[in-house]
Structure formats: C-alpha cells, structure tokens
Amino acid sequence: KGGKGGKGKGGKGGKGGGAKSVVVKPHRHAGVYIASGKEDVLVTRNLAVGDSVYGEKRITVEEGEGDAKTKIEYRVWNPFRSKLAAAILGGVDSIWMGPGSKVLYLGAASGTSVSHVSDLVGETGCVYAVEFSHRSGRDLINVAKKRTNIIPIIEDARHPQKYRMLVGMVDCIFADVAQPDQARIVALNAALFLKNEGHSVISIKANCIDSTAPAEHVFAKEVQKLQAEQFKPLEQLTLEPYERDHAVVVSCYRSDKSKKQKTS
C-alpha cells in the first residue's frame, strides 16, 4: 500500500502546485542535480521522458522564457534504493562517471540504479549492465528497451570472457555484486575492459564477505585484495545512514605503470 500511496502523491506533487516552487541546480558531480522544494532531493535528468522505472517521483521544470520555453523532466534518485546515490549524498569525492562516460555496471539487478546511471551518462555515454539472475534480468531488459544507452547482459560477472564481444573499453566499473569474491570479480572484468588509469567504484557489503568479522576489518581486507590486483584505493566511505555495514571504495586502476614508463 505504502508504495502505491507514494507513487500517487509523487505524481500529483510533480504535476501540480508542488512543481512550480522546485528549483533544480547542478550537483558538483556532472550529470547529477539537486532539486530543492520542500526538501532537497537528488535527481537525474530523465532520458526516457514520461517514464518512471520503479515508481520514483518525477519533477518537471520549465526553462527559458516565452517561445523558447522547454520542459525538462528529472527523476528523484532514492539513496535507500541505490548505493551510488547513497555514496553521492555521503560526500564521495568523485564517482568517476559523467556525461559521455562508458560504464561497466556489475550486479545491475532490476536496473533501478542503472537507470539513473543511464540518465547521468546521457545519450553520448553507455552503460554495460551485467546481471546473472534471469528474473532481475527480465526487468533490466525492459528498462533497457526505453533507454538505448543501456546494454543489458544476462551473464555471470565471474566469467567476463563470455560477454567480451559485447563490451568495449570502459572509463569506470561500478560493482555491487554482494559476493565473497567480489574483488576478484572486479579484477577479472578490469583486466578485459577497464582502461589504464580508469576507475572502479565498489560497494562492499561486510556480512556478504565475512559475517563473523567486524565490518572495518572486512573493508580493510577487501582494500588489500584490490591493491594486489593493481588497484590504487583513493577513498573509502561508509553508506550510513542509508545502509548498514556497507562501504564504497573508489580506486584507480594501473595508474603507476604508466608513470614508470614515462620515467624510463
């Protein structure tokens, strides 16, 4: 019931009187915006206008004057439903994706977060969305039907060679696979698809990796695993208050190699 109520209200608020007082400003991450009305919310510019992916609220803003007036639609990005949104609101320094970026998204699930990444990279960008579950994959494919920049891949991210013909080189890998060997999965994909000095943004769920150890230990151990795979960790932050015992680790891939070559 709650979901439906929220949807209805969202629709009314977006179309009715609520929308007029909403001001949308760019966030410091390119492609992400803040809509401030009654409260500030994170939004992305809707690539598939008129379409909600998971019942999220849409906000329409009129820009320009007179005949040049255009309507731009934004979708509210809920940090409780998306680790990436939680990281942005948690103050992550850089998400390493923006308009025009090529992103490999591991653990795409039903495509709720992926749809926002699709908005964020825009028509010139591309999101390769990998999801192993066929049930979630069906939803993901439906999202991709309306968004040409999403390439849905229903495969196990542990075997990137199975989809190597579909994926080009990417600027950033985002991973939310919630598997104990997540670091290895990311490294296998990075070896095939991540450009040198590209970046990875990895969401780590502590109890998926080791439910007996304290979360901090688990995160530290994962960072070590990444370092062993030629990732240089740049920052780590927890996703409180949106998720418990989750952290996001941002790393740069094979950055020192190129420096060594320059010096030689």
Q: Answer for the pair 129, 148: CB distance below 8 angstroms, yes or no.
A: no
Mean pLDDT for back-to-back runs of 10 residues, the chain (264 residues): 36 45 94 95 97 96 84 97 98 98 98 98 98 98 98 98 98 97 98 98 96 96 97 97 97 77 51
Query: What is the per-residue pLDDT for 21?
Result: 79
- Lay out the sheet containing 231-238: strands in order across: 150-153, 126-130, 102-106, 170-175, 194-205, 246-253, 231-238
User: How does pLDDT run across 161-213, given as a tens digit for each residue?
Assistant: 999 999 999 999 999 999 999 999 999 999 999 999 999 999 999 999 999 99
Query: What is the per-residue pLDDT for 1?
Result: 37
HSE of 26, CA atoms in CB hemisphere, 13 A: 7
Query: What is the per-residue pLDDT for 219?
Result: 97
Smallest CA-to-CA distance from 147 within 135, 129, 165 is with 129
HSE of 24, CA atoms in CB hemisphere, 13 A: 23
Smallest CA-to-CA distance from 177 within 116, 231, 105, 236 is with 105
